[in-house]
Amino acid sequence: MNRYPLWKNLMILGVILVSLLLAWPNLYSQDPAIEITAARGVEITKASVSEVRTALDTAGVPVKDIERLEGGKLLVRFAASNDQLKGQEIIDRTLSEHYHEALTQSADLPGWMRALGLKPMNLGLDLRGGIHVVIDVDMEAALDQALERYLGDIRTQLRDAKIRYLNVTREEGRIVVKFADAESRDAGQKALKREFRDLALQASEDDDKFVIQANLPPAEQKQIKDFALEQNITTLRNRVNALGIAEPSIARQGDRRIVVQLPGAQDPGRLKEMLGATATLEYRLVDTEGSVTDAVAGRVPVGSKLYSERNGKPILLKRRVIVTGDQITDASAGFDGQSGTPAVFVNLDGQGARRMRDVTTENVGKPMAVVFIENRTTTETIDGKPVKTTRKVEEVVSVANIREPFGRRFQTTGLDSSKEAHDTALLLRSGALAAPIQIVEERTIGPSLGQDNIDQGILSVVIGMTLVVLFMGFYYRVFGLIANVALVVNLVMIAAVLGLLGATLTMPGIAGMVLTLGMSVDANVLIFERMREEIKNGNSPQASIAAGFEKAFSTIVDGHVTTLIAAIVLFSFGTGPVKGFAVTLIIGLASSMFTAINCSRALINLVYGGKRLKTLPV
């Protein structure tokens, strides 16, 4: 009696061994490291690794290890923080501006662990230190900008349709078009309804004038707001990546806010400069007649300008700008309907569409380039004082041939892959912020405070487990020691799952872990008390063990399920620390059910199963 079949014991043992393996990386110390990321269009090669190693060796900076990571990244490990800071200066001088360096921490794992893809748990901002910023997006400004675009487009559409109108104005969140007679108004309404299906048009008469009111329906307003929020998130992500910060987190919060978390960053001033930077895009024709070689030598043709692509290759463009990024209303990635190759679809406003149509009609078959322009502000310390300098960066991000005349909506082809098309579309959309932003909350957590939080969290877990272990061992004797083993297995499983899922451990997460350990012990207490009741009722020790687990099972499940429902609600509606608490609690509840019922039962069966017992040491 009270024996598990061999396969079940092996299954439980296998789960425990796998959990130990996955949790093992958390025991290794964190090395100061530098993560090097290449900009779009640039790759980190073996030559880049050799260049970095040679530069550090020449400067006398000791390096622990250099390895290439997935995603085209390079990780340089150091033994001390001072070497890390010196190495950053050397690498920054050695590599070009197409590479970004990020100070980070990396676990000193053995090679076989890295080969298996094992990783320790990610530490949250409160444990690692960094910057937490909450940004509010001005949705009213986004709607105003949309109305301004429609205002120009309506004027253009009426002029192209040769419909006479008195004026087009914007009044109280809507566009008002006035005509001199009913015939012109009806013709204008028909033309506008055909072109602008997203607008709600309403005809009326006011002071002997015939009027069309154009309103943004609620669905269109929501789409504009969502687009503005997502575009701002993409813009901010691109700008934060330029800071060279490892593992940044940029997420949507509610209907109009963005949360930016930068682990390891300690310069909020630089962050504000980057978030507030302005950027734009320009479309220019490629100068196919001028000589790029002569331009590089300093002999640039009149009416042209020398640029560089993102891979450093020089290219000669016309000085005349076709359209700018301010005239782009939308951009999306897709595939060309004829060739099936990746393409980027761009929408322009009325003025930009007219300009693009005129230029492309005259230049079919010629290449056109997309230029990304950004004014980057940096702060340097001169004579002990911070001095801000602004540098204008101009890069060619895409070049494609004009296949036929186009205007308001067109596609850019000649891209290597669908991923590049997707990245280009994001870049076109994120060249500038879609709506103004305002930082409404800012917190900076120092690395020393983060380490203090880690120490306090570990101390709380150790104290809690020690008290529980002492109580269980004293009160329930051998059975208490078995419960303690299950408790340790539960903790190992939580760490293993957190590392496997790539979840982030925060201080609230540690609180959830401690709460889970308490619930795990509570489940064992219920089982052991049931055993005591069975023994008092005169049942045999073996029957009492079986009855204890069977009768306590439903109570344990009910308690865990109700707590699980609360944790799921917290995860669904909570943000930030609340989510961290909920994630750890959900994982802990699942592992607690396994350890309290299966692991404890397996150990008790191994120790007492099949034996003739006179008493039960519980």
Q: What residue ranges of the chain are covered by domains with CATH 3.30.1360.100?
A: 139-221
DSSP track, 322-383? EEEGGGEEEEEEEE-TTT--EEEEEEE-HHHHHHHHHHHHH-TTSEEEEEEEEEEEEEEEET
Phi-psi label, residue 215: left if phi above 0, alpha if psi -120 to 50, beta otherwise: beta
Helices (H), 38-163: 46-58, 81-94, 111-116, 125-128, 139-160
What is the rounded distance in angstroms from the CA atom of residue 140 to the CA atom of residue 151?
16
Rounded to 5°, angle at Cα 245 from 242 and 246:
125
Tokens representing residue 331 in the block: 């951009």
The angle subtended at Cα 99 by Cα 97 and Cα 102, nearest 5°, is 120
List, for residues 37-77, the tens digit of each pLDDT value: 765 556 777 777 888 888 888 888 888 888 877 666 788 88
Q: What pTM does this model have?
A: 0.59
pLDDT number for residue 354: 86
pLDDT at residue 448, rounded to an integer: 59
How crowded is residue 378: how many other Cβ atoms within 10 Å of its Cβ? 12
Residue 572 has pLDDT above 80, yes or no: yes
Q: What is the mean pLDDT of residues 164-176?
A: 84
Q: Which residue has the tokens 């990746």?
A: 342
Tell whether the model's pLDDT for residue 295 goes beyond 70.
yes
pLDDT > 60? residue 278: no
Does the pLDDT value for residue 105 go beyond 80? no
End-to-end CA separation in angstroms for the chain: 18
Contact 307, 315 (CB under 8 A): yes
pLDDT at 414 over 70: no
Tell me the backbone φ, ψ of residue 475, rounded to 5 degrees: -85, -35
Amino acid code (one letter) for 377: T
CB 209 within 8 A of CB 181: no
Please check the confidence at residue 273 and state whether its pLDDT lies above 60: no
- CA-to-CA dists, residue 31 to 57, 67, 611, angstroms: 19, 13, 52
pLDDT at 372: 74
Confidence at residue 14, expressed as pLDDT on a 0 to 100 scale: 92
447: pLDDT confidence band, cut at 50, 70 and 90?
Answer: low
**Spatial distance between the Cα atoms of 584 and 398, rounded to a whole number of angstroms:** 45
Work out the burial of residue 571: count CB atoms within 10 Å of its CB; fewer than 13 is exposed, 13-18 middle, 19 or more buried: middle
Residue 590 or residue 417, greater confidence = 590
Return the CATH number of 6-24+447-608, one of 3.30.420.40, 1.20.1640.10, 3.40.50.2000, 3.20.20.140.
1.20.1640.10
Superfamily of domain 30-108: ACT domain (3.30.70.260)
Which is it for the CA torsion 490, 496, 497, 499, positive or negative?
Answer: positive
Which among 397, 350, 327 has a CA at the least distance from the CA of 369?
Answer: 397
Residue 21 banded pLDDT, cuts 50, 70, 90: very high
Mean pLDDT (whole number) for 239-256: 72
Instruction: Return the closest-CA partner of residue 183 out of 195, 175, 174, 191.
Output: 191
Q: How far apart are CA 168 and CA 252, in angstroms?
A: 36
Q: Give residue for tokens 């914007």.
A: 170
The ranges of the chain annotated as CATH 3.30.70.260 are: 30-108
Alpha-carbon distance 282 to 205, whole Å? 42
Q: 10 Å Cβ neighbour count for 530?
A: 20
pLDDT digits (tens, 9 = 90+) for 479-509: 888 888 888 898 899 989 888 887 777 788 8
CATH 1.20.1640.10 segments of the chain: 6-24+447-608
Three-class secondary structure of residue 438 per DSSP? strand
Least confident of 183-197, 307-321, 434-448: 434-448
Compute the Cα dihedral for 245, 246, 252, 253 and give only its sign: negative
**pLDDT reading at 217 higher than 60:** yes
In whole angstroms, what separates CA 459 from the centre of its chain? 31
Instruction: Out of 312-326, 363-377, 519-533, 572-586, give the one with best mean pLDDT.
Output: 519-533
The yes-or-no verdict on residue 378 having pLDDT over 70 is no
Please give the share of the chain, as a percent, with pLDDT higher than 70.
84
Mean pLDDT for the stretch of residues 81-97: 77
Residue 17 has pLDDT above 90, yes or no: yes
> DSSP secondary-structure letter at 609?
T
Confidence of residue 427 (pLDDT cuts 50, 70, 90): low
Sequence-ordered list of residues with C-beta below 8 angstroms from that of 354, at least 6 positions apart, any chain: 156, 407
Average pLDDT over every residue of 428-434: 61
Phi, psi for 214 (deg, rounded to 5)? -110, 120
Position 605 scores a pLDDT of: 85
Separation of alpha carbons 613 and 136, rounded Å: 69
CA atoms of 4 and 589, how far apart (whole Å): 24
Using a 10 angstrom Cβ sphere, with 0-12 exposed, 13-18 middle and 19 or more buried, the burial of residue 181 is exposed
- The DSSP secondary-structure symbol of 28 reads S
pLDDT band at 451 (very low <50, low <70, confident <90, very high): low
Diameter of the chain measured on Cα atoms: 107
Out of 142-146, 240-244, 422-426, the most confident range is 142-146
Best CA proximity match to 279, nearest among 362, 393, 398, 144: 393
Give tens-digit pLDDT for 383-406.
766 665 656 678 787 788 887 888
Amino acid 331: pLDDT: 73
Question: At residue 446, does pLDDT exceed 80?
Answer: no
Query: Looking at per-residue confidence, does 379 or 296 come out higher?
Result: 296
Please say whether the beta carbons of 302 and 319 come within 8 A.
no
State the amino acid at position 607 in one-letter form.
V
Q: Rounded to 5 degrees, what are φ and ψ at 365?
A: 90, -10
Q: What is the mean pLDDT of the chain?
A: 80
Are 89 and 131 spatial neighbours (Cβ–Cβ below 8 Å)?
no
Tell me how crowded residue 251 is: count the other CB atoms within 10 A of its CB: 12
Residue 18 is predicted with a pLDDT of 92
pLDDT-based confidence at 275, cuts 50/70/90?
low
Residue found by looking up tokens 């969140």 in the block? 173
pLDDT for residue 429 is more than 80 = no
In this prediction, residues 415-434 reach a mean pLDDT of: 63
The CATH number of 139-221, from 3.30.9.10, 1.10.3720.10, 3.30.1360.100, 3.40.50.1100, is 3.30.1360.100
Query: Is residue 380's pLDDT more than 70?
Result: no
The residue with greater pLDDT, 221 or 102, is: 221
The domain 278-420 is placed in CATH, from the list 2.60.40, 3.40.1350, 3.30.1360, 3.30.460, at: 3.30.1360
For residue 16, the model assigns a pLDDT of 92
